[in-house]
Amino acid sequence: MKLLLAGLDHTTAPVEIRERLAFSTTDIPAALMQLTTAHDDCPALLSEAVILSTCNRVEIYGVTHGATTAQSLVRFLADFHGLEEEQFAQALFFFSGESVARHLCATASGLRSLVLGEAQIQGQVRTAFEAAQSAGSIGPILHRLFQHALTSGKRVRSETALGQGAASVSQAGVELVRHRLGNLAGCRVLLVGGGEVSELAAQNLLANGAESLIIVNRTSARAQQLARQYNAMAMGFDDLPEALSLADIVISSTAAPVPIIYREHVVNAMTTKTQARAVGVSGPREQPCMLLIDLAVPRDIAGDVASVPGVHLCTVDDLQEVVRATLGHRAGAVSTAEAIATAEVAAFQAWCQTQDAVPALTRLRERAETVRNAELDRALRRLRDLSPEQRTVVEGLTRSLVNKLLHPPTRCLRDAAAHGDGQRYAAMVTELFNLETM
């Protein structure tokens, strides 16, 4: 068994690369099937696989028993996304063995996030795990690893102060608005998307003095629900151009595979604002301007929007401006969080070591059951006059004898495996009980 991880994140790749390698929710089942299915007499790349794809990272976690290498996963990413390897390979990082466990436990704990301590990553790790379960690509190794990672994240959030301050992408987005504008008083804000990011943004915008909210979502029912909850205006997705003309600030966070806001939309919105100002109905600002914050990966807002006069465009990579300002509030909790993650890695490694004993113990149990059943059948043929109750007693006796005899070597082998000596003791048990002939 070998753990393998290939990935990239905000520290190794800009959003322009991350969005090209991102896996949508509908992509992931097919990708997991490709990773774990043999093709044309070629073995599967991975025997177990999980894909974690968020706005700040794309990571493939896998278990391989064969010759799968990091380069194999690079080729998979290139083929699946229709890219050339040289377009992204230099941005990838690779881990194997215990380093995979360390990275995942730290990630689920918010220690590898753009926004240190962000709360959403634990849910994203769980979603990736559940998607792999549904796809049938989870086995015992990754199941155990992800359980320890999720436990690490839960403990960090309950036992430390790591999540204090701007501890989510949406909170950081609102903080970025405040950094750029000073305050939100009198501002009209357009939220595009109806997911968790938008809902958290709505809460923070209102708490920071935004005058009014407009919510646009592809699903009108969800837009209406959020509008009622936050006393906002709901508009249909077809009304997005009009909504843009009403907004001073736009925060977009959909799961669209391509941009939904183009330069033409923003140019028309700014023209409408200019015309409205000319007739005295534009609002308090002397000249029309618009701040757009794109929290989506792939991006919701086309890059050339930034060239429109009066428009300021930010992406998730610009959140570093806020992260640096709020880092001091949570830095003291980092060492405690790292200790929790390390403890969960150690627990996972201890479990992995005990797995060295499993094959030998399984063969030992099978050999003992084969002998027990054969001897029991021979004895019962000679004791034909036994009643059903008596036969049950005799069978129970043989089972109890086997269990009692196997208990000491089983315990000894498990203890040896837990201390890293499982393979040597497994070989001894195999030789002593002649298990190789099975």
Task: Point out the residues that are catalytic.
Answer: 55
301 and 15 Cβ atoms separated by less than 8 Å: no
Q: Which two tokens stand for residue 145?
A: 């690893």
273 and 282 Cβ atoms separated by less than 8 Å: yes
Alpha carbons 93 and 12: distance in angstroms, whole number: 8
Nearest Cα to 174, choosing from 252, 261, 251, 289? 251
Helix (H) or strand (E) holding 278: helix 263-278
Query: For 391, phi and psi rounded to 5 degrees?
Result: -60, -40
45 and 33 Cβ atoms separated by less than 8 Å: no
Tell me the CB-side half-sphere exposure of residue 79, using CA atoms within 13 A: 10
> How many residues can be counted in the chain?
438
Helices 334-354/140-159 angle, 10° precision: 160
134 and 29 Cβ atoms separated by less than 8 Å: yes
Tell me the CB-side half-sphere exposure of residue 341, using CA atoms within 13 A: 28
Nearest Cα to 255, choosing from 209, 296, 208, 203? 296
Q: Where are the beta strands (DSSP E) in 196-268?
A: 212-216, 233-235, 249-252
Alpha carbons 88 and 144: distance in angstroms, whole number: 31
Query: For 105, phi and psi rounded to 5 degrees?
Result: -65, -40
Nearest Cα to 140, choosing from 191, 84, 65, 252? 65
Q: DSSP readout, 15-72?
A: HHHHHHH---TTHHHHHHHHHHS-BTTBPPS-SEEEEEE-SSEEEEEEEESSS--HHH
230 and 212 Cβ atoms separated by less than 8 Å: no
Helix (H) or strand (E) holding 423: helix 422-432
